[in-house]
Amino acid sequence: MITNPTSVLKPQPVSVVLLAHNEAAVIEAVVRGFYGKIVARLPGSEIIVAEDGSVDGTKEILARLVRELPGVRWEEGREKRGYVTAFKKAMELPKNELVLFCDCSGKHDPDDFWAMAPLMSDHDLVVGYKAKRADPLYRIATTRVFNFLVRRYFGVPYRDCNCPMRLFKKSRFLQLSGKPWLEKALVNFEMTLRFHYAGFPVAEVPVRHFARASGPSRGLPLRKIPAVVWNVLRLFPRLKEELS
């Protein structure tokens, strides 16, 4: 259940950062959803869309939305930079200390921000976990196995360490992002571990999850999953050594 925002959070501005690549089918609905449910309710808030080299009309839609919605900015990627590079570049742009990050798949509900925000008084990162996943069975199975392995190998308690719906303090993130990260695809997983091992308090809250409405995943389509999983498992020893 979503709590009335005025009862849980003083008017504290937030920078909503959305990462998008070829999301013309859903980008307008996603941006308007985050705008209406969060930014319009918190004075001084903003939306930054980090667009990563789209070629399907996403750029044109964003250009129009920036003109129509005050507080919406667009950081254009003239060529595809990759998830990690686009992610780190986007984190340099927020004007507010409080940052809500999500992708533009349309699978997450902006209203869940109001359940995450109260925890920021005692935490530096709040990660959503999908209480009821709406993904295909192969993605559900892969994610469950992956999170189990992460918990056992790294000794962490997180149920959904790679969930893109996350709220965090920009200053803490910048403390950790100065040197190269190892992971090239599952950057949210590495971010969660880096916060944890740095001693920055991390919490998890359940979030809603919807089926993707516009075709296969842009960031991690089925054909890429085996290679991505194999590569990240190979990185486990190196990442644990670096974090420790």
Alpha carbon distance 228, 242 (integer Å): 20
Q: Where are the domains of the chain?
A: 5-243
Q: Provide the β-strand partners of residue 236.
A: none
The whole model's pTM is what?
0.88
Q: Cβ(211)–Cβ(107) under 8 Å?
A: yes
Please compute Rg for the chain using Cα positions: 17
The DSSP call for residue 3 is: P
What is the full DSSP assignment across 114-168? HHHGGGGGT-SEEEEEESS--S-HHHHHHHHHHHHHHHHHHT---S-TT-S-EEE
Q: What is the pLDDT along the chain (244 residues), one digit of tens a residue?
A: 344 444 444 558 999 999 888 889 999 999 999 999 999 999 999 999 988 778 888 899 999 999 999 999 988 666 566 667 777 778 888 999 999 999 888 999 999 999 999 999 999 999 999 988 888 888 888 899 999 999 999 999 999 999 999 999 999 999 998 888 888 778 899 999 999 999 999 999 999 998 877 655 555 565 666 777 788 889 999 999 999 8
Architecture of domain 5-243: Alpha-Beta Complex (3.90)
